[in-house]
């Protein structure tokens, strides 16, 4: 079973990403639109994978991911953002994609990272 935490403050994009990842093997999802919300959600439902925006309603996706990973250990992450230059800290093993969504590339990266 692959549980994905989607950290995204635009609901339609979050739902689009859910559909994309479900088509690529994810079985369950949690959602958060803020840094603190993402951290709290990860404590309730530990994610096997994280897909995150950078700019959120409060805080940032990279800082949320950093906090989650420091608490729960290594979790693969893909960042999807309109501002990849603002993706900090987004060091590997994270992968960064620019919006608008490149669905085939994101799906392929998800499958590769999940299999690793």
Question: Can you give the residue range of the structural domain that contains 104?
Answer: 3-115
| Angstrom distances, CA of residue 24 to CA of 18, 29, 76, 109 | 10, 13, 15, 10
The total domain count for the chain is: 1
pLDDT of residue 91: 61
pLDDT of residue 92: 61
User: What's the whole-number mean pLDDT along residues 51-58?
Assistant: 95
Q: What is the mean pLDDT of the chain?
A: 93
DSSP secondary structure of 48-65: SEEEE-SB-SSSBHHHHH
Question: pLDDT tens-digit profile of 69-78?
Answer: 999 999 999 9
Q: How confident is the model at residue 1 (pLDDT cuts 50, 70, 90)?
A: confident
- Please indicate, yes or no, whether the overall pTM of this predicted structure exceeds 0.75: yes
pLDDT higher than threshold 70 for residue 89 = yes
Say how far residue 76 (Cα) sits from the centre of its chain: 9
**Residue 101: CATH number of its domain:** 3.40.50.2300
Among residues 30, 43, 85, 39, which one has the least CA distance to residue 61? 39
| Angstrom distances, CA of residue 12 to CA of 17, 100, 108 | 9, 13, 21
pLDDT of residue 9: 96
Question: pLDDT tens-digit profile of 18-32?
Answer: 999 999 999 999 999
pLDDT higher than threshold 90 for residue 90 = no
């Amino acid at each position: 079973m692959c549980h994905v935490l989607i950290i995204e403050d635009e609901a339609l994009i979050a739902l689009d990403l859910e559909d994309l990842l479900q088509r690529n093997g994810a079985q369950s999802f949690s959602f958060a639109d803020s840094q603190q919300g993402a951290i709290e959600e990860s404590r309730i439902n530990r994610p096997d994978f994280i897909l995150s925006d950078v700019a959120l309603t409060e805080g940032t996706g990279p800082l949320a991911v950093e906090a989650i990973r420091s608490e729960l250990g290594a979790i693969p992450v893909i960042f999807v953002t309109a501002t990849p230059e603002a993706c900090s800290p987004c060091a590997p093993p994270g992968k960064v994609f620019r919006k608008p969504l490149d669905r085939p590339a994101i799906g392929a990266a998800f499958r590769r990272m999940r299999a690793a």
